[in-house]
Amino acid sequence: MLQCIFLLSDSGEVMLEKQLTGQRVDRSICTWFWEHTVSQGDSPKLQSVIASPTHYLFQVLREGITFLACTQVEMPPLMGIEFLCRVADVLTDYLGSLNEDLIKDNFVIVYELLDEMIDNGFPLTTEPNILREMIAPPNIANKMLSVVTGNSSNVSDILPGATSSCIPWRTTNLKYANNEVYVDLVEEMDAIINRDGVLVKCEIYGEVQVNSHLSGVPDLTLSFANPAVLDDVRFHPCVRFRPWEAHEILSFVPPDGQFKLMSYRVRKLKSSPIYVKPQLTSDAGTCRVSVLVGIRNDPGKTIDSITVQFQLPSCVLSADLNSNYGTVNILANKTCSWTIGKIPKDKAPALSGTLLLETGLECLHVFPTFQVGFRIMGVALSGLKIDKLDLKNLPKPPYKGFRALTRAGEFEVRS
Amino acid sequence: MAPPAQAQRSSSPSQPSGKGEVADVKSQLRNLAGSRAPGVDDSKRELFKKVISYMTIGIDVSSVFGEMVMCSATSDIVLKKMCYLYVGNYAKVNPDLALLTINFLQRDCKDEDPMIRGLALRSLCSLRVTNLVEYLVGPLGAGLKDNNSYVRMIAVMGVLKLYHISASTCVDADFPTTLKHLLLNDRDTQVVANCLSALQEIWSLGGSASEEVSREREILLSKPVIYYLLNRIREFSEWAQCLVLELVAKYVPADPNEIFDVMNLLEDRLQHANGAVVLATAKVFLQLTLSMTDVHQQVYERIKAPLLTLVSSGSPEQSYAVLSHLHLLVMRAPFIFSSDYKHFYCQYNEPSYVKKLKLEMLTAVANESNTYEIVTELCEYAANVDIPIARESIRAVGKIALQQYDVNAIVDRLLQFLEMEKDYVTAEALVLVKDLLRKYPQWSQDCIAVVGNISSKNVQEPKAKAALIWMLGEYSHEMHDAPYILEGLIENWEDEHSAEVRLHLLTAVMKCFFKRAPETQKSLGAALAAGLADFHQDVHDRALFYYRLLQYNISVAERVVNPPKQAVSVFADTQSSEIKDRIFDEFNSLSVVYQKPSYMFTYKEHRGPFEFSDEIGNLSIGTESTDTVVPNRVEANDKDLLLSTSEKEETRGLNNSSSAYSAPSYDASSLSVPTSQLSELAISNPSVSGNVPQPSFAIDDLLGLGLPTAPAPAPSPPPLKLNPKAVLDPTTFQQKWRQLPISLSQEYSINPQGVAALTTPQALLRHMQGQSIHCIASGGQSPNFKFFFFAQKAEESSTFLVECIVNTSSAKAQIKIKADDQNATQPFSSVFQSALSKFGMP
């Protein structure tokens, strides 16, 4: 049971405070929290659950804004954290993005939202579709309308249909002139490659994202050509469990707009699309660096946005690094970032140069880890393929769109 | 929004200082108050916004309360909302002015628009002003009967708010009964969920009226209610599902079929997108199957994948909380996760607290088949930029080495660490090599060759230095220049700041002396002289002791300092199994994240002392049926519960080593516990009777193995010490009470003073608490009282459960005792009896 929610700016200023129960939480807790954060040094990743002298704090950091919740009683930690994440998601959804100014400009809406999302410390509804009907988002159309009609209320007059609908995530009377539905497979590849170039670990975390603009109450069925590749799946509440259990078919009545239908994990992949081969050899106080990047397994589509990033060890005094393709930048915090983009046809991108070590140090003992980024449009590297999408309960056949995308998640190459 | 403005950071230039602006707003509001001009709502809105924004940044705007209320007569819902927000925030500070708002809030409660009705009701209940509660009853009653579920849902929460302000008003209006009705009959699930959460809180607060409340709780946990909620679970919102699942986790199904039904029904909840639902479901599964060993293991297999997905898919904040739970499961059943070790590999970017958890899990899951990969991975981290993690991973390698039987490859790795020439790596590796040698003396040749090459000048950390010195002393016969290195160290005695190192130096030079006397004699003299002059008490004493020992008899001294040593088989664990078990019982709570049971960190008043204590009301039904269960079967079942095996090994290992290993002082802390317990037991049992091997019985007893035969006829049983801070949650009590057979049933008589003092159950509770016997539930009225007590042995987790029925008119107390350790029933019974007999005595 949460007692209070604070929103803090990136300088620790309290932007918003929402007391939830009779036990008022004093603002000084934020000061304590901020001092605690500062005392943790430059590592911005603070534990999500912290025990302060008087309260237990949940914190979630999004775009520089800290969502802080306090409680004094034992409760499921994930409930606190998940809820704060949802608050952040809903605010992003409402305000278009998330930053200090947006929150300060729209604090009345934020209060209204919190009021509907949590009562007496217990979360009520966090479903954006329902909230949007209770509290209208502050968009341009609304502002136009208010200027024209003189009615400047940003609250819809009617009570949301969904609160009384039997499908809580969808309102009953939706109408679109053009019915369309888009299904995207978005995958992230996490991998660890050791210094011998061996793939130590490689797995994919994927999401099926759906954007639906459909009239009435449509019933959708999505099936995969090869559901067997999936290791573990999680569903949006709209997915019916039995059809999946029996035939591995996703049957659902979609919420309106963009939502995450399913997330999944595919383990034990055997290969990565690109290789990164770093080599570091030290000799008499200097270290020669060479990094080669190339395509290992052609996925059949262009690999773009390739980047390689690594942190220079603290014992390095200066670095002189050049590449035959792309740009190399060494940032103030000793992070070296090499932006490659697409791999050219005629040559293999290579980065080379020397690192000058601290005096007295013969050779490098701490080896950097190279973090690799890339993006491949049109391919789901897990091999998952959508078989078909059937729609029922619709007056006329809608437009259906499918896309796939794979990008690097935590893709690490050790040296 | 806190009224005191001084908490503000005044540095920020954008923040107005307060006073002038507030006065300005005040006058403007006053001008607008009566106006009905067109567009006045817009200007009001701007002003309200200003007031709220002042409030938000912490300026005290309570002085405009009156004006705000005057302006509140409007049909604009945003204005209303801002006004409600303002009023809710300052009403408590201005109870007199708050009265002004009652009127318009009550009117809004009857508005046509359900949204406004709901909002007004919510604000009305959020005023939290004690002397205004009378105005709440009417609107709340109407709200509970409202046609619109939105209003009902708010009204239900309103009842809870009212209960917090004035419990008696709430009960007098009979609201709890209405909530009970709504809980079982409302068609809107959010209303049902709010009823559930409100009723649970009301009952946990109203613990004093235990009889009635216990009946209510019993109903809540009864089969019909649980099934009613379970059957509708898919209709509930994700948060309400968490609430229902939490309740279900406390439900005790009647038979295995029921357990499987519940689990089948909830199976798909494990695939819910909300992590809180997944964890709550996992908790239900784990709790339901606690007594079914093989199913429990299957549950681990089943919940493994969803938890691993949650870790990799969620935000870093979620990952950490889930990882903490996974950590708990891995520690309890490492073998189930042994093929998933790659999930616990650390990513470069992860914060170090996550890496630490992962390292511990990697250590735990290491077995014959994956050790090579895990150790290879851990060695990568040793070169990590993050020094604490590098250290931690070296320690992990060491721990794995100590767990494994085939340490060949690991020793090589450790020795490579020593050659890495980084001071902290060397330091950690030295400590490990020392531990390794204590367990596997056969590796001494290989290790010593490498250790001998380390210059003691490069080792600065006390722990590492102590380890090096220990090895120098222990293996001085194999290390060529050991005496000379020690000599060098002794010469620098004055510069050595750590007493630990100096102590080791003394012992090492002694050991070395007995092996290579001619080379060491001089430095031994120097060391003893320096030790005697040392200002540190321990160092001085040890030096003096060695000196006298040498004076007394050299061969005795050698036997004391250099006895033959038996390898240590298992090192003691830092976290006791009792605490681990307790954390496990609190799965899906903050305890898991902190790795401490909640009694160690939450305040007592927040735990809700009686929270679930009255579920025990239904115990008496279960008692009769379980009486017939064969005691041995229950015990065996309890012991082999999947996870306790490793703990058993641990205790056995300790027992073996404690009697054999007696090196002076070295890391004695890990061994001292059992030794002291043994001696204590031996001393407290001076009258060893006849041919019964009393001490060995004591040891078995200590290990909690329980003897199948009848306990030895001990004339004076060892005095039993009880843990004054014993904690047992009601569910465990309930489970234990059902599982254990009655080990003793007796009738005591109570002295007249006791009878006189026993007017309420609480009197006896407090008294028994003073005797380290805790009450978990009580009830009844004169002359019949019923209590459930529990107590725990001071040194171990062995628990005693007592049912005590007191009849004050006959001055008799009927006692039924159930105990984890049957042999300890007698001593406990006498402790209990004497505690009871002191009741009422001045």
Domain boundary among B520, B535, B565: B565
Query: What is this model's ipTM?
Result: 0.81
In this structure, are A224 and A373 located in the same domain?
no
pLDDT at B628 over 60: no
pLDDT at B108 over 80: yes
pLDDT of residue A374: 92
Please, is B14 exposed, middle or buried when counting C-beta atoms within 10 Å of its C-beta (0-12, 13-18, 19+)? exposed
Task: At B176, list the tokens.
Answer: 């709890």
Residue contact A49–B268, C-beta within 8 A: no
In this structure, are A144 and A254 located in the same domain?
no
What is the 3 state secondary structure string of B514-576?
Answer: HHCHHHHHHHHHHHHHHHHCCCCHHHHHHHHHHHHHHHHCHHHHHHHHCCCCCCCCCCCCCCC
pLDDT of residue A237: 81
In this structure, are A197 and A281 located in the same domain?
no
Percent of chain A topping pLDDT 90? 5
Q: For residue A251, give the nearest of A211, A217, A215, A220 by alpha carbon.
A: A220
pLDDT of residue B272: 84
pLDDT at B179 over 80: yes
User: Is A134 within a domain?
Assistant: yes
Which of B238, B317, B346 to mutate: most A Cβ within 10 Å? B317
User: Is B789 within a domain?
Assistant: yes
User: Is B265 within a domain?
Assistant: no
Taking only the tens place, the pLDDT of each residue in B457-495 is 777 788 888 888 888 888 887 777 888 888 888 888 888
In this structure, are A358 and A341 located in the same domain?
yes
pLDDT at B624 over 60: no
Q: How confident is the model at residue A186 (pLDDT cuts 50, 70, 90)?
A: very high
Least-confidence region, from A15-19, B320-324, B835-839: B835-839
**Domain of B509, in residue numbers:** 457-565
Which of A133, A157, A207, A234 to mutate: most B Cβ within 10 Å? A234
pLDDT of residue A155: 45
Indicate the residue of B268, B312, B352 with minimum beta-carbon distance to A265.
B312
Which of B8, B53, B56, B339 to mutate: most A Cβ within 10 Å? B56
Indicate the residue of A48, A235, A313 with minimum beta-carbon distance to B273.
A235
**Domain of A142, in residue numbers:** 4-149
Average pLDDT, integer, range A361-390:
85
Which of B49, B52, B302, B312 to mutate: most A Cβ within 10 Å? B312
Taking only the tens place, the pLDDT of each residue in B725-760 is 777 777 777 777 777 777 777 777 777 777 777 766
Number of inter-chain CB pairs under 8 A, A vs B: 251
User: Is B744 within a domain?
Assistant: yes
Return d(Cα B311, Cα A265) in angstroms, integer: 11
User: Is A138 within a domain?
Assistant: yes
pLDDT of residue B422: 74
Identify the H or E element spanning B270.
none
In this structure, are A39 and A119 located in the same domain?
yes
Average pLDDT, integer, range A291-304:
85
Taking only the tens place, the pLDDT of each residue in B301-358 is 888 888 888 887 777 788 888 888 888 888 888 888 888 888 888 887 788 788 888 8
Whole-angstrom CA distances from A82 to A258, B88, B266, B317, B499 are: 19, 27, 20, 9, 50
Taking only the tens place, the pLDDT of each residue in B502-531 is 888 888 888 888 888 788 888 888 888 888
Q: How confident is the model at residue B618 (pLDDT cuts 50, 70, 90)?
A: very low
Residue contact A159–B148, C-beta within 8 A: yes
Which residues does chain B have within 8 Å of residue A365's beta carbon, measured at their own beta carbons? 383, 420-422
Q: Where are the alpha helices (DSSP H) in A200-272?
A: 241-247
Domain boundary among B516, B544, B565: B565
pLDDT of residue B716: 47
Which position has the higher pLDDT, B228 or B657?
B228
User: Is A154 within a domain?
Assistant: no
pLDDT at B766 over 60: yes
Residue contact B352–A60, C-beta within 8 A: no
In this structure, are A244 and A288 located in the same domain?
no
Q: How confident is the model at residue A233 (pLDDT cuts 50, 70, 90)?
A: confident
pLDDT at B620 over 70: no
| pTM score, whole prediction | 0.71
Q: How far is B89 from chain A (nearest CA, A)?
A: 8
Residue contact B342–A85, C-beta within 8 A: no
pLDDT at B646 over 70: no
In A, residues 89-118, which contact B (CB 8 Å cutoff)? 104, 107-108, 111-112, 115
Q: For residue B176, give the nearest of B206, B138, B136 by alpha carbon.
A: B206
pLDDT of residue B627: 35
pLDDT of residue B699: 38
pLDDT at B684 over 70: no
| Interface check A236 vs B, CB under 8 A | yes
pLDDT at B782 over 80: no
In this structure, are A278 and A265 located in the same domain?
no
pLDDT of residue B574: 54
In this structure, are A386 and A355 located in the same domain?
no
Residue contact A366–B384, C-beta within 8 A: yes
Top mean pLDDT of A216-230, B21-35, B723-737, B760-774 is at: A216-230
In this structure, are A399 and A261 located in the same domain?
yes
In this structure, are A193 and A77 located in the same domain?
no
CATH number at residue B790: 3.30.310.10
Give me the numbers of helices (H) and strands (E) for chain B, helices first please: 42, 5
Q: Respond yes or no on whether the N-terminal peptide bond of residue B783 is cis (omega within 30° of 0).
A: yes
Q: How far is B259 from chain A (nearest CA, A)?
A: 20
In A, residues 58-77, which contact B (CB 8 Å cutoff)? 58-61, 72-77
User: Is A409 within a domain?
Assistant: yes
Question: What is chain B's mean pLDDT, rounded?
Answer: 73
Average pLDDT, integer, range B288-294:
82
Strand A399-414 relative to strand A180-193, pairing = parallel
Which residues does chain B have within 8 Å of residue A26's beta carbon, measured at their own beta carbons? 2, 7
Residue contact B274–A82, C-beta within 8 A: yes
In this structure, are A397 and A255 located in the same domain?
yes
pLDDT of residue A134: 75
User: Is A212 within a domain?
Assistant: yes
Domain boundary among A103, A132, A149: A149
User: Is A165 within a domain?
Assistant: no
**What number of residues does chain B have?**
842
Q: How far is B534 from chain A (nearest CA, A)?
A: 38
In degrees, rounded to 5, the angle at the alpha carbon of residue A359 between the alpha carbons of residues A358 and A362 is 85
pLDDT of residue A124: 85
For B372-379, which contacts have Cβ atoms below 8 Å and span 24 or more sequence positions? Answer: B372/B409, B373/B341, B374/B341, B374/B400, B375/B400, B375/B409, B375/B410, B375/B413, B377/A200, B377/B345, B379/B413, B379/B416, B379/B417
pLDDT of residue A375: 92
Top mean pLDDT of A182-196, B76-90, B641-655 is at: A182-196
Which position has the higher pLDDT, B615 or A254?
A254
pLDDT of residue A167: 64
Return d(Cα B584, Cα B642) in angstroms, integer: 14
Top mean pLDDT of A359-363, B531-535, B678-682 is at: B531-535
pLDDT of residue B14: 42
User: Is A290 within a domain?
Assistant: yes
Number of domains in chain B: 2
Q: How confident is the model at residue A372 (pLDDT cuts 50, 70, 90)?
A: very high
**DSSP secondary structure code for residue A254 in this structure:** P
Please state the φ and ψ torsions of residue B817, each to the nearest 5 degrees: -115, 135
Average pLDDT, integer, range A290-305:
85
User: Is A171 within a domain?
Assistant: no
- Determine what percent of chain B falls in helix, strand and coil, rounding each to the nearest 5: 65, 5, 30
Q: How confident is the model at residue A184 (pLDDT cuts 50, 70, 90)?
A: very high
CATH number at residue A263: 2.60.40.1170
The residue of chain B nearest to residue A13, with distances taken between CA atoms, is B9
pLDDT of residue B373: 83
Number of domains in chain A: 3
Domain boundary among B565, B582, B612: B565
In this structure, are A265 and A390 located in the same domain?
yes
Q: At which residue do the structure tokens 């091997």 appear?
A: B693
For residue B88, what are the contacts with CB-CB under 8 A and spacing of at least 6? Answer: B123, B126, B127
| Interface check A163 vs B, CB under 8 A | yes
Indicate the residue of A58, A74, A236 with minimum beta-carbon distance to B598.
A74
